[in-house]
Amino acid sequence: MKIYNKKGLLWGIVWTAVGAFCLYRDAADASGFLPQQIKSVVLSLIMLAIGVTGFVRAFSKRASMEDRVEERDERSRLIRLKTASQTLRVLMWVQAAATVLGLLAYVFTENLVWGCLFLFSGLTITLEAAVSIAAAVYYEKRS
């Protein structure tokens, strides 16, 4: 058997291992709450199915070719880029709101927990801005 998609094989193995471990954990350490058990088993089976599918597709020449075409498709790339951009934009505003709320809550309550919320969300906004500037400089020099 020839492996046509090594990355797909690796991801298939990882998903299968995670799904099998979660299924084993669900069986070995069952909690008393039935809806939680059902949800955990269903999610474990989904992970297992994704892993087995990726594993099997790695050995199929036709499926691997379809995966490569889909990966290189310009429309799919554009959608991935726009999705990533919008996700980062929304998360930046969520972090900004958390920073403001943490600061206001700390000022009014003087509880250190709210100060930590302000500190950590502020640090992540600062890190995001620094990475954004570094990426802009990098791509400006390469263009």
For every residue of 29-95, DSSP letters joined together read S--S-HHHHHHHHHHHHHHHHHHHHHHHHTT-HHHHHHHHHHHH-HHHHHHHHHHHHHHHHHHHHHH
Using only C-alpha atoms, what is the Rg of the chain? 22
* Mean pLDDT on 7-33: 88
Name the pLDDT band for 138 (thresholds 50, 70, 90).
very high
Name the pLDDT band for 43 (thresholds 50, 70, 90).
very high
Return d(Cα 57, Cα 50) in angstroms, integer: 11
Task: Give the list of residues 6+ apart from residue 32 with CB closer than 8 angstroms, or none.
Answer: none
Any idea of the CA torsion for 98, 83, 86, 95, to the nearest 10 degrees?
A: 10
Return the pLDDT at 65. Answer: 87
Return the pLDDT at 133. Answer: 93
Return d(Cα 48, Cα 68) in angstroms, integer: 23
Q: Given a cut of 90, is residue 29 above it in pLDDT?
A: no
Return the pLDDT at 14. Answer: 95
Return the pLDDT at 72. Answer: 83
State the average pLDDT for the chain. Answer: 88
Return d(Cα 46, Cα 16) in angstroms, integer: 10
